[in-house]
């Protein structure tokens, strides 16, 4: 089951802060019917309580997500930001992460989408893959990297 879709690949997103980034990146998920209209607010709320920033070996990223009840069809939205935005680190709320790439996860049932989650985790620890994401020069290259590594 493919989680990456061309219309969910965003390049050069100019966001003021984490909330703004989540709103901009959530918009195509909503527009194309992957999530319910409660999704974006739910992600913002959840990010405040349980942040999803991750400082990887290669760069800072974030994987904003929320409960499956807000999701219609599972998908991963990949967004490269025009400039890094500060997220709080997962599990350690007082640590800040300068996130350069966001992977917004619309997961309806983790048990059924385990392959996507497992691929996603593989990407985070794969320096080569992350550098390919970071070096993508446009939507097409970002899409190709996402399709190859996330599926």
CB of 23 to another protein, least distance (A): 19
The CB-side HSE value for 146 (13 A sphere, CA atoms) comes to 28
Scanning 7-15, 75-83, 87-95, 133-141 for contacts with another protein by CB under 8 A, the matching segment is 87-95
Sign of CA dihedral 132, 119, 124, 64: positive
Q: Which is nearer to another protein, 73 or 139 (CB)?
A: 73
Residue 92 within binding range of another protein, rule CB under 8 A: yes
For residue 93, state whether it binds another protein (rule: CB under 8 A).
Answer: yes
> Could you say whether residue 72 binds another protein (CB under 8 A)?
no
* Tokens (6 digits) for 113: 């989408």
Task: Supply the minimum distance, in Å, between the C-beta of residue 107 and another protein.
Answer: 5
For residue 46, give the DSSP letter: H
Q: Specify the DSSP element, H or E, that contains 137.
A: none
Number of H-type helices and E-type strands within the chain:
5, 5
User: Would you mind telling me the total number of residues written for the chain in this entry?
Assistant: 151
In the list 23, 32, 89, 147, the residue contacting another protein (rule: CB under 8 A) is: 89
| Rounded distance between C-alpha atoms, residue 95 and residue 54, angstroms | 10
H-run or E-run covering 42: helix 39-49
* 2-41: contacts with another protein (CB under 8 A): none
Interface map 42-71 toward another protein (x if CB under 8 A): ----x--xx-x-xxxx-----x-xxxx---
Return the CA Rg of the chain: 14
| Interface positions with another protein (CB under 8 A) | 46, 49-50, 52, 54-57, 63, 65-68, 89-93, 105, 107, 110-111, 114, 117-118, 120-121, 124-125
């Amino acid at each position: 089951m493919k989680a990456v879709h061309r219309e969910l690949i965003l390049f050069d997103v100019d966001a003021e802060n984490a909330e703004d980034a989540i709103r901009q990146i959530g918009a195509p998920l909503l527009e194309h019917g992957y999530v319910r209209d409660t999704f974006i607010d739910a992600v913002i709320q959840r990010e405040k309580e349980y942040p999803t920033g991750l400082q990887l070996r290669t760069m800072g990223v974030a994987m904003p997500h929320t409960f499956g009840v807000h999701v219609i069809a599972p998908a991963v939205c990949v967004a490269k930001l025009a400039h890094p935005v500060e997220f709080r680190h997962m599990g350690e709320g007082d640590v800040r992460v300068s996130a350069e790439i966001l992977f917004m996860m619309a997961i309806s049932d983790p048990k059924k989408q385990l392959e996507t989650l497992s691929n996603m985790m593989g990407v985070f620890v794969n320096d080569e893959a992350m550098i390919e994401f970071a070096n993508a020069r446009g939507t097409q290259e970002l899409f190709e990297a996402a399709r190859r590594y996330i599926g």
